[in-house]
Amino acid sequence: MTQTQQNTLWQVIKITCAAAIGGFLFGFDSAVINGTTLALKATFDASDASLGAAVSVALLSAAAGAYFAGRLADKFGRVRCMLAASFLFLISALGSGMPFGIPDFIFWRAVGGAAIGIASIIAPIYIAETAPAHLRGRLGSMQQFAIVIGIFAALLSNWLVVRFAMALETNAILYTLPDFILQQNGGFANAYILGETKAWQWMFWLEIIPALLYGFFALRLPESPRFLVSQGRLSEAKEVLAKISPDDVDDEIDSIASTFKNSAPTKLSDLFETLTNGKRRIAPIIWAGLGIAIFQQLVGINVIFYYGNMLWQSVGFTENDSMLLNVLSSIVNISMTIVAILLIDKIGRKPLLLIGSIGMTFSLGLLAYCFLTAATDIYGNLLLAGISGPLSVLAANLFIIFFAMTWGPVMWVMLGEMFNNRIRAVAIAVCGLAQWGANFLVTFTFPILSGTAGPGLTYALYTFFAFTSIFFVWKFVKETKQKALEEM
């Protein structure tokens, strides 16, 4: 590799990592609330319904943020949208850490959800539009890698804050109190750290650091050359391309410009195509994107990360063991995302999706079998006795392995590159809306399904969606490996 190539590669990596900080905040903001729920309930005497709203509202506002992000990106640019997301993350972290009550806490969580939605859409658009075709898969996978790192960082920081609060409180006034009194008041997450501030408040305030870093790096990012071309700013686009892809810059600019020639601003109606008989229908490529986005959630992956403790305790594991299983799952998730980064530009997107669908069908089916055949105690609670316990843990982590090395990152990569220049931002926004809608549907229905039908039948349903995704990918998804965006 020549010095010029090394400099170009380093420039592209810096651009991608800076953009992927939005993915880190996406993961961190999604997971940070897990350590605060009991403390919030104790602090504000919140009902289960209001607490549920506080947890789930971010998913709904993320769907709205994702939908509008595409239009905003086409009007104001990719970098300005990153700056807007950074600001929303910042004020959400500040507000969530000092609410007057549950209603305004819900508002601040909604603000953070909007930031998550914007970041989830802007990062894959920007990375796809700045990365060279032969590296686009690996660099696009950084979005998912950053998300799982963000989730892990939130869980770790929550644990560290609680440990710090525990050390201060047990050395001060609470060491003589029984643990159950402390737990009734929200646990150590509700303990004081400095003056009148409590541990759970600092869990949210720690997000201020990456939010500021996101804005700092976004200010130093070049605008997407494809956005610049769409705005007629050809000289600026050439300068950016010269840094990230110095070969045949003029030809590349001409190729990009040809996709925008005589084009009016993109509208939702542009996602339709006209048939020979004059009728209009949603273009097949849009259906493919929607399917990838929705199936990624319908397999139930976020049940593991949102309801891990609840799931494992419902089938007989202790609270401590359940927390350890969640940490294990997070480590597996990170490790397999690294594997995906190494494989995606070698194996290709479609083969990875097929491998993932087959593997998830097997592992989810095995998990459903363990739950369906589990014994019950005298109170009717499930008990994974004997080999069923270790087998269910193995199945759950196999599921995470197959998801993390395939559907997790590949969905974001493909949404960023499968649409042509003209409709990309709007198409990704619609698919992002569908993805967050499916996320909310699965998250909202799991406690209901698990409580009525039981975890066995619930996971049998997720198995059905994983099985169906095999045929969907085989028939409707086309390979995008190493294709130029102008070929889409």
Q: Does residue 483 register a pLDDT over 90?
A: no
Averaged pLDDT, 424-453: 84
Instruction: Give residue 432's Cα distance to chain centre.
Output: 11
Question: Is residue 139 packed enough to be buried (19+ CB in 10 Å), middle (13-18) or exposed (0-12)?
Answer: buried
Q: What is the pLDDT of residues 5-49, one digit of tens each?
A: 666 677 777 777 777 888 899 889 888 887 777 777 778 877 767
Confidence of residue 180 (pLDDT cuts 50, 70, 90): very low
**Fold of domain 1-221:** Growth Hormone; Chain: A; (1.20.1250)
Q: Do domains 1-221 and 266-488 have the same CATH topology?
A: yes
C-beta neighbour count of 378 within 10 angstroms: 5
Contact between 256 and 486 under an 8 Å Cβ cutoff? The reply is yes
Contact between 29 and 58 under an 8 Å Cβ cutoff? The reply is yes
| pLDDT for the residue numbered 470 | 97
Q: Does residue 171 register a pLDDT over 90?
A: no
Q: What is the pLDDT of residues 39-76, one digit of tens each?
A: 777 788 777 677 777 777 888 898 889 888 878 888 89
Give the whole-angstrom CA distance, residue 94 versus residue 90: 6
C-beta neighbour count of 399 within 10 angstroms: 29
Averaged pLDDT, 210-223: 91
Between 223 and 464, name the one with better pLDDT: 464
Q: Mean pLDDT, the chain, as a whole number? A: 81
Helix or strand run (H / E) with residue 301: helix 301-306
Q: Helix, strand, or coil here: 373?
A: coil
| pLDDT for the residue numbered 154 | 86
* Residue whose entry in the numeric block shows the structure tokens 């097949």: 284
Name beta bridge partners: 197. 194
Q: Helix, strand, or coil here: 420?
A: coil
| pLDDT for the residue numbered 175 | 42
* Residue whose entry in the numeric block shows the structure tokens 């998804």: 477
Contact between 120 and 19 under an 8 Å Cβ cutoff? The reply is no
> Vertex 281, ends 276 and 283: CA angle to 5°?
100
Averaged pLDDT, 147-160: 84
Q: What is the DSSP string of 251-299?
A: HHHHHHHHHHTT-PPP-GGGGEEE-TTS-EEE-HHHHHHHHHHHHHHHT
* Highest mean pLDDT pick, 40-54, 89-103, 185-199: 89-103
Give the whole-angstrom CA distance, residue 482 versus residue 348: 9
* Highest mean pLDDT pick, 156-165, 217-226, 247-256, 314-323: 217-226
Q: Where are the domains of the chain?
A: 1-221, 266-488
Give CATH superfamily name and number for 266-488: MFS general substrate transporter like domains (1.20.1250.20)
| pLDDT for the residue numbered 387 | 79
Paired tokens of 175: 């060491």
Q: Does residue 82 register a pLDDT over 50?
A: yes
Confidence of residue 323 (pLDDT cuts 50, 70, 90): low
387: region left, alpha or beta (phi > 0 left; psi from -120 to 50 alpha): alpha
| pLDDT for the residue numbered 54 | 78
Give the whole-angstrom CA distance, residue 19 versus residue 290: 24
| pLDDT for the residue numbered 185 | 47
Give the whole-angstrom CA distance, residue 78 versus residue 126: 6
Tell me the residue type at 85.
Answer: A
Give the whole-angstrom CA distance, residue 146 versus residue 131: 17
Percent of the chain at pLDDT exceeding 90:
24
C-beta neighbour count of 45 within 10 angstroms: 10
Percent of the chain at pLDDT exceeding 70:
82
Averaged pLDDT, 227-241: 85
Full-model pTM: 0.75
- List the single range of 154-158, 222-226, 247-251 with lowest mean pLDDT: 247-251
- List the single range of 150-154, 157-161, 174-178, 210-214 with lowest mean pLDDT: 174-178
What does the buried/exposed string (b/e) look like for 467-480 if buried means 16 or more CB atoms within 10 Å of the residue's CB? bbbbebbeeebeeb
Q: What is the pLDDT of residues 368-401, one digit of tens each?
A: 998 888 777 666 666 666 777 778 888 888 999 9
Averaged pLDDT, 453-473: 93
Phi, psi of 73 (to 5 degrees): -65, -40
Q: Does residue 316 register a pLDDT over 70?
A: no
Give the whole-angstrom CA distance, residue 108 versus residue 349: 37
**Among candidate residues 422, 433, 117, the one with its CA nearest the CA of residue 109:** 117
| pLDDT for the residue numbered 234 | 85
Q: What Cα–Cα distance (Å) separates residue 72 from each residue in 64, 83, 116, 425, 446?
A: 12, 12, 15, 9, 33
- Helix, strand, coil % in the chain, rounded to nearest 5: 80, 5, 20
Between 315 and 393, name the one with better pLDDT: 393
Q: Does residue 207 register a pLDDT over 50?
A: yes
Q: What is the pLDDT of residues 101-140, one digit of tens each?
A: 888 999 999 999 999 999 988 888 888 888 777 777 777 7
Contact between 347 and 341 under an 8 Å Cβ cutoff? The reply is no
Interhelix angle 37-44/102-130, nearest 10 degrees? 150
| pLDDT for the residue numbered 181 | 37
First-last CA distance in the chain? 29
